Structure 1
Amino acid sequence: MDWKNAYRSLYYADAEIPDLDLDPDRTALLLIDIQNTYVERPAREDVPEAERADWDRWDPFHQRMRDVVLPTVTRLQAAFRSQGRDVLHARIACLTEDGRDRSLSQRRPGFNNLLLPKDEHASQIAPAVAPLPGEIVVTKTTDSALTGTNLRLVLHNMGIYHVVVAGIFTDQCVASTVRSLADESFDVVLIEDGCAAISRELHEHELTIINNIYCQVVSSDDVLDELGW
Structure 2
Amino acid sequence: MSWKTAFRSFYYETAEEPEDIVLPPAETALLVIDIQNTYLEPKDTPEENTRWQPFFDRMREVVIPNTRRLQDWARENGIEVIHARIACLKQDGRDRSLSQKKPGFNYLLLPKDREDSQIVDEVAPRADEIVVTKTTDSALTGTNLRMILHNMGVRHVIVAGIFTDQCISSSVRSLADESFSVVVVEDCCAAATDELHRHELAVINMIYCHVVSSAEVRQFLPS
TM-score by length of 2: 0.96
The code of the aligned residue for 1:117 comes to: P
Summarize the alignment of residues 22-41 of structure 1 with structure 2, pairs less than 5 Å apart. Answer: 22-41=23-42
The code of the aligned residue for 1:188 comes to: V
Task: Give the Cα–Cα distance (whole angstroms) in 1 for the partners of residues 187 and 221 of structure 2.
Answer: 17
The code of the aligned residue for 1:37 comes to: T
1:95 paired to 2:96: no
Summarize the alignment of residues 80-229 of structure 1 with structure 2, pairs less than 5 Å apart. Answer: 80-227=74-221
Q: Deviations over 1:141-169 (max 9, x none)?
A: 11000000000000000000010000000
**Structure 2 equivalent of residue 52 of structure 1:** 46
Task: Give the Cα–Cα distance (whole angstroms) in 2 for the partners of residues 149 and 202 of structure 1.
Answer: 27
The code of the aligned residue for 1:3 comes to: W
**Structure 1 equivalent of residue 4 of structure 2:** 4
Q: Deviations over 1:57-80 (max 9, x none)?
A: 110001000111011100111011
Q: Deviations over 1:14-64 (max 9, x none)?
A: 21222212222211100000001012338xxxx6xxx11111111000100
- Local SS of the residue matching 1:96: coil
**Structure 1 equivalent of residue 55 of structure 2:** 61
The 8 Å contact of residues 88 and 109 in structure 2, kept in 1 or not, is answered as: yes
RMSD value over aligned CA atoms? 1.3
Deviation at 1:228, TM superposition (A): 6.5
The code of the aligned residue for 1:71 comes to: P
TM-score by length of 1: 0.94
Stretch moving more, 7-16 or 210-219 = 7-16
Task: Give the Cα–Cα distance (whole angstroms) in 1 for the partners of residues 146 and 177 of structure 2.
Answer: 11
Task: Give the Cα–Cα distance (whole angstroms) in 1 for the partners of residues 10 and 154 of structure 2.
Answer: 31
The 8 Å contact of residues 24 and 222 in structure 2, kept in 1 or not, is answered as: no
Task: Give the Cα–Cα distance (whole angstroms) in 2 for the partners of residues 57 and 38 of structure 1.
Answer: 14
Deviation at 1:84, TM superposition (A): 2.7
The code of the aligned residue for 1:5 comes to: T
From 67, 70, 77, the equivalent of 1:73 is: 67
- Local SS of the residue matching 2:182: strand
**Structure 1 equivalent of residue 13 of structure 2:** 13
Task: Give the Cα–Cα distance (whole angstroms) in 2 for the partners of residues 61 and 26 of structure 1.
Answer: 33
Task: Give the Cα–Cα distance (whole angstroms) in 1 for the partners of residues 81 and 124 of structure 2.
Answer: 10
Task: Give the Cα–Cα distance (whole angstroms) in 2 for the partners of residues 137 and 226 of structure 1.
Answer: 25
The code of the aligned residue for 1:116 comes to: L
Kindly report structure 1 stretches of 4+ aligned residues shifted beyond 4 Å.
none
Gaps of 5+ in 1: none
